[in-house]
Every structure is written in structure tokens, then in C-alpha cells.
């Protein structure tokens, strides 16, 4: 509200827009508030305190306060046929977008879905709602419809396909027919997206609190084979298909429950858990061939293949590797209780427990023993993986062994703790 008021005083247009307006109309609590304005990013930085420009592809401005971060975007418009500032790649994807507009009507046409193209000014005459593209009609119909030609809009930014799945799952909407047909044919376009961006977007879908509902949609529209290709192959046909299906369903239910309970979630734990069936399938294949590989080799091979689809940042990759390799250490005949001092310990024990309850009953006794130790051992204090943290010269050693901590009950964070 303060951001909008300041923009109004400077004679700029300013509206709440997107998911916050949609959620308010659906009687939901918005997670955050986005503002759209005719002020350009540089003007916003001069006008708003604690504002900074982020993003190369779509420049936006983050305005931070003591309690929140408001995302402010400049109106956009459709590009001019010649000399525009909207740059496309060879296959139609948008590489750079600096085509600024001056009105709500222009900006609405550049948004992704009609239900996200609703603009609300809370300060003008007690509140004014602007609907240029029939978003209110689609909201009442509980329908998700792409603005413009769906095939073109998906090609411009293929991540819109993942956003469509996330909204369908979280809102309980249905995809409009043309939007769904284009989505069914467009999965291969995810290859145009930078792997690092895919990594983040996949986590958003699966950690939305509706991951269990999103998963079959990712499979239905063949998006999963672009995000987690080896995991998809395990589910299609492998010696561990049934076991993998049970484990993944348990993982997603657990993740959804944590979100609904207001608990923290871990991107490292999620990816480690979803990649574990790949390792199990590889072990089964090697056993049939009479061959063996070390845990470090199996984890390294699995991570290398996954990097080709979604580039995993180093700080997360190290935590994922530790969670996976701890699965062997926790199940060893003579396990070392000092494993409880590792940062990945609590996440690894939780994965072991989910495995025991989802097709590997031989782990039940071992899992129960480690869970008791986990309850008695507070999670170690947070330390970052990577620069500034000692790493053993031996590849087989675990990272970030930490001293005992008197901190509270263990939770999950992006370094893999649980």
C-alpha cells in the first residue's frame, strides 16, 4: 500500500496485479503482493527507498521493507514489428524484454493467464478493479486460460507450462481447451530454458503445497521427462517401478504436509529423494550384470546426468550428494553414531524412514534406531556448503561435520538439514 501511495504522489499509475488480486477474489491469503506501474525501473529506484533492479531478461524492481519484499514491474506492451526492444531466439523464445508500455490495457496482453491479468487500485475511490481480458469470467468458471495464442505464448517463455501445472494443481482449476492442447504438444520447448531456471521452477511446482497433485500433471503433459528424465524412466519401466512410485508419493505427501503446517522445506532433500529411485534402479541393473559400483560412483553418475537437464547450484548439489551417500552409511552393519553431527544427517534419516515405509520394510528396524538418535541430537548450526567450509581431500568423506548444538528442534533448510 505504501509503494502504491508513493507512486500515486509522484503522478504514476500503480496497481496491485497478478496472484495477489486473484487470491483475494478467491478468499485466499496472498503469499505476496506485486505492483504494476508506468514508471520505469530506473525511475522506481530513484523514487522508492531500498529498491533495486534484478533480472536481465525481464527487469523488475524489488522494494524491501522490514517485513516483506514487494515486486514492482513496469507496464509492458506488444513489440513493434521493427526496432522493438523485445529480442527473440531462433526458436521463438524471448531473450530480452525491454518493450515498456504506458497503460494497463497494453500490459494485460503481455501477462500469462487471464486470471492473473486483474488490476486493483486500493486507493482510488474505495478500490477499483480493472479486467481487460475476461479474467473475472474465467475465475467464476474456475478455468485457466492463456492470454493470446497458447502455442506462441508457451514458445515465448516455456516456463509458462510449469506455471500452468502449478496453478491447476493449487487452485483446482481446469485448463481451457486450447491452452491444454498446446501444453500437451509443447513439452520439448522446456529444452530452451536455462537448466538453472528449470531447477528453481521445478521446486516451485513441487513445493507449492500441492506437489502430490502436480506430479501426475507433470507426467500427463510429458514435462517430467524434461525435468527429471531418469526418475521418469524409473517410473515407466524398471525393476523398482512399484517401489519408486510408493516412495515418490510418500515424499510428495510429506512435502505438502510440511507446507500446510507452515514448516520449512528443503530443495536439497526433495531432489535427493526424487533421485534415489534412479540409484536403486541402477543398482538392480548392475546386480543383474554381476557388477558393483561404490556409493560415490553411483551418486556421482546420477548427479552428472541430472545436471544435463536441470543445473543444480553447487551449494545444493553438495547437500544432495551427502543425503544420498548417507543412505549407505546409515544402513551399514556398524554405523558410526558420529554421523549425527553431519549437516545432512536429519534429512538423510527422514529419507531412510520414508524408504522403510514405502517398499523397503527391511529398513524399518534400522530407521527406527536412527530416528531415536535424531530426536536426541539437535541439528547442527547452519553453515554454508562451498567457499569457506573445509572439505576433505578424499572424495568419499562427508562434508560439514559440526559440533553439538543446543539449538531447538531440527527443521529443514536448503543445506539439507531436517
Half-sphere exposure (Cβ direction) of 395: Cα atoms closer than 13 Å: 8
Instruction: Please tell me the distance from the alpha carbon of residue 278 to that of residue 284, in angstroms, as a whole number.
Output: 10
Residue 117 and residue 246 in one domain? no
C-alpha cell of 334? 556398524
Distance spanning both ends of the chain, measured CA to CA: 37
Give pLDDT tens digits for 182-218. 999 999 999 888 888 888 899 999 999 999 999 999 9
Q: Would you place residue 77 in the very low, low, confident or very high pLDDT band (cuts 50, 70, 90)? A: confident
The reply to whether 32 belongs to the active site is yes
Least confident of 6-20, 47-61, 306-320: 47-61
What's the pLDDT score for residue 277?
94
Say which residue the cell 514508471 belongs to: 39
The answer as to whether 414 is a domain residue is: no
Pairing relationship of beta strands 143-144 and 174-175 according to DSSP bridges? parallel
Among residues 34, 131, 138, 230, the one annotated as catalytic is: 34
pLDDT at 48 over 80: yes
Give pLDDT tens digits for 237-270. 777 788 899 999 999 999 999 999 988 889 999 9
Residue 64 and residue 25 in one domain? yes
Residue pair 182/150 in contact by the 8 Å Cβ criterion: yes
Residue 129 and residue 158 in one domain? no
The reply to whether 34 belongs to the active site is yes
The reply to whether 112 belongs to the active site is yes
Residue 246 and residue 369 in one domain? yes
Please count the helices (runs of H) and the strands (runs of E) in the chain: 18, 11
Residue 155 and residue 115 in one domain? no
Residue 24 and residue 130 in one domain? yes
Residue 114 and residue 222 in one domain? no
Among the candidates 140, 173, 198, a domain finishes at 140
Higher-confidence residue of 227 and 398: namely 227
Residue pair 75/105 in contact by the 8 Å Cβ criterion: no
Q: Whole domain around residue 122: which residue ranges? A: 1-140
Beta bridge partners of 73: 36
Residue 173 and residue 260 in one domain? no
Instruction: Please tell me the distance from the alpha carbon of residue 108 to that of residue 278, in angstroms, as a whole number.
Output: 43
* Predicted structure pTM score: 0.82
- Structural domains of the chain, count: 3
Kindly provide the residue ranges of all beta strands, DSSP E only, lying in 113-217, ordered along the sequence. 118-121, 128-131, 143-144, 174-175
The answer as to whether 20 is a domain residue is: yes
CATH of the domain at 372: 1.10.3090.10
Among the candidates 201, 227, 253, a domain finishes at 227
Instruction: Please tell me the distance from the alpha carbon of residue 109 to that of residue 112, in angstroms, as a whole number.
Output: 8
Mean pLDDT, the chain, as a whole number?
85
Give pLDDT tens digits for 89-126. 555 555 555 688 889 999 999 999 999 999 999 988 77
Q: How many residues does the chain have?
A: 418
The answer as to whether 71 is a domain residue is: yes
Residue 97 and residue 11 in one domain? yes
CATH of the domain at 174: 1.10.110.30
Among residues 112, 131, 157, 413, the one annotated as catalytic is: 112
Distance set, CA 281 to CA 274, 275, 299 (Å): 12, 10, 12
Residue 180 and residue 127 in one domain? no
Provide CB contacts within 8 A for 43, sequence distance 6+: 12
Residue 34 and residue 120 in one domain? yes
Q: Would you place residue 146 in the very low, low, confident or very high pLDDT band (cuts 50, 70, 90)? A: very high
CA angle 279-280-283, nearest 5°? 85
Instruction: Please tell me the distance from the alpha carbon of residue 110 to that of residue 102, in angstroms, as a whole number.
Output: 13
Rounded mean pLDDT, 142-169? 94
CA dihedral 109, 111, 117, 120 (to 10 degrees): -100
pLDDT at 85 over 90: no
Hey, which of 76-80, 89-93, 270-274, 282-286 has the most confident mean pLDDT?
A: 270-274
Amino acid at each position: 500500500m505504501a509503494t502504491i501511495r508513493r507512486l500515486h504522489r509522484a503522478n504514476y499509475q500503480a496497481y496491485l496485479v497478478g496472484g495477489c488480486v486473484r487470491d483475494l477474489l478467491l478468499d485466499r491469503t496472498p503469499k505476496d503482493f506485486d505492483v504494476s506501474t508506468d514508471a520505469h525501473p530506473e525511475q522506481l529506484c530513484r523514487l522508492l527507498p531500498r529498491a533495486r533492479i534484478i533480472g536481465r531478461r525481464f527487469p523488475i524492481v524489488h522494494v524491501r521493507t522490514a517485513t516483506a519484499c514487494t515486486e514492482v514491474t513496469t507496464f509492458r506492451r506488444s513489440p513493434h514489428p521493427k526496432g522493438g526492444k523485445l529480442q527473440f531466439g531462433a526458436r521463438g523464445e524471448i531473450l530480452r524484454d525491454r518493450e515498456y508500455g504506458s497503460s494497463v490495457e497494453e500490459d494485460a496482453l503481455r501477462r500469462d493467464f487471464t486470471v492473473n491479468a486483474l488490476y486493483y487500485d486500493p486507493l482510488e475511490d474505495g478500490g477499483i478493479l480493472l479486467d481487460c481480458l475476461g479474467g473475472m469470467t474465467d475465475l467464476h468458471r474456475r478455468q485457466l486460460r492463456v492470454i493470446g495464442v497458447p502455442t506462441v505464448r508457451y514458445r515465448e517463455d516455456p516456463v509458462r507450462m510449469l506455471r500452468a501445472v502449478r496453478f491447476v494443481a493449487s487452485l483446482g482449476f481446469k485448463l481451457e481447451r486450447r491452452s491444454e492442447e498446446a501444453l500437451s504438444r509443447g513439452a520439448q520447448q522446456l529444452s530452451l530454458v536455462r537448466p538453472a531456471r528449470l531447477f528453481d521452477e521445478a521446486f516451485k511446482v513441487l513445493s507449492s503445497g500441492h506437489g502430490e497433485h502436480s506430479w501426475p500433471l507433470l507426467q500427463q503433459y510429458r514435462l517430467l521427462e524434461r525435468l527429471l528424465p531418469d526418475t521418469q524412466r524409473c517410473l515407466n519401466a524398471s525393476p523398482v517401478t512399484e517401489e519408486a512410485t510408493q516412495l515418490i508419493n510418500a515424499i510428495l505427501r510429506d512435502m505438502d504436509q510440511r507446507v500446510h503446517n507452515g514448516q520449512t522445506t528443503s530443495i536439497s532433500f526433495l531432489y535427493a529423494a526424487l533421485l534415489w529411485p534412479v540409484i536403486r534402479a541402477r543398482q538392480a541393473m548392475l546386480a543383474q550384470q554381476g557388477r558393483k559400483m561404490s556409493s560415490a560412483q553411483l551418486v556421482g553418475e546420477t548427479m552428472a546426468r541430472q545436471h544435463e537437464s536441470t543445473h543444480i547450484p553447487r551449494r545444493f548439489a553438495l547437500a544432495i550428494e551427502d543425503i544420498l551417500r548417507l543412505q549407505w552409511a546409515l544402513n551399514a552393519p556398524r554405523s558410526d553414531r558420529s554421523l549425527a553431527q553431519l549437516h545432512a544427517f536429519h534429512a538423510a534419516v527422514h529419507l531412510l524412514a520414508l524408504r522403510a515405509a514405502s517398499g523397503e520394510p527391511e529398513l524399518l528396524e534400522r530407521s527406527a534406531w536412527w530416528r531415536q538418535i535424531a530426536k536426541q541430537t539437535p541439528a547442527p548450526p547452519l553453515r554454508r556448503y562451498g567457499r569457506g567450509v573445509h572439505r576433505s581431500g578424499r572424495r568419499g568423506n562427508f562434508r560439514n561435520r559440526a559440533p553439538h548444538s543446543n539449538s531447538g528442534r531440527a527443521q529443514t533448510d536448503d543445506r539439507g538439514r531436517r
